[in-house]
Structure 1
Amino acid sequence: MKILSNEQLVAAYRDAEKKGQDRDWIRLLKDEVRKRGLNPVRK
C-alpha cells in the first residue's frame, strides 16, 4: 500500500465502504485507520 496521509487514508476508507469494494481492501484500510487512532466517521 502507498504511504497515505491521515486524511487520504480516511477518504480512501470511506470511498471503499461507499462503493462496496473488496472486503479485504476495506479490512486493510480499517486496520490502518485504527492503528493510527483515527475516527473515520463524519461529524
Structure 2
Amino acid sequence: MRVMTNEQLVAAYRDAKKNDHGDNVVRLLKSEIRKRGLNP
C-alpha cells in the first residue's frame, strides 16, 4: 500500500466501500484506519 495522509486514507476507504472495490481492499483500509485511531 502506498503512503497516504489520514484524510486520503479515509477518503479511499469511503470510495472503496461506496463503489464496491472488493472485501479485501475495504478490510485492508479499515484495519489501517483502526491502527491510526481514526473514524471512517
Q: Comparing both structures, which one devotes a greater share of its residues to helix?
A: 2
TM-score between the two structures when normalised by the length of structure 2 = 0.96
Number of the residue aligned with 1:27 = 27
Q: Which runs of 5+ in 2 are unaligned?
A: none
Which string of whole-angstrom CA distances, capped at 9 and with x for unpartnered residues, describes residues 1-43 of structure 1?
0000000000000000000111101000000000000001xxx
Rg larger in structure: 1
Task: In structure 1, list runs of 5 or more residues that go unmatched.
Answer: none
| Identity, % of aligned positions | 62
RMSD: 0.4
- Length, aligned pairs only: 40
Q: What TM-score comes out, normalization by structure 1 length? A: 0.90
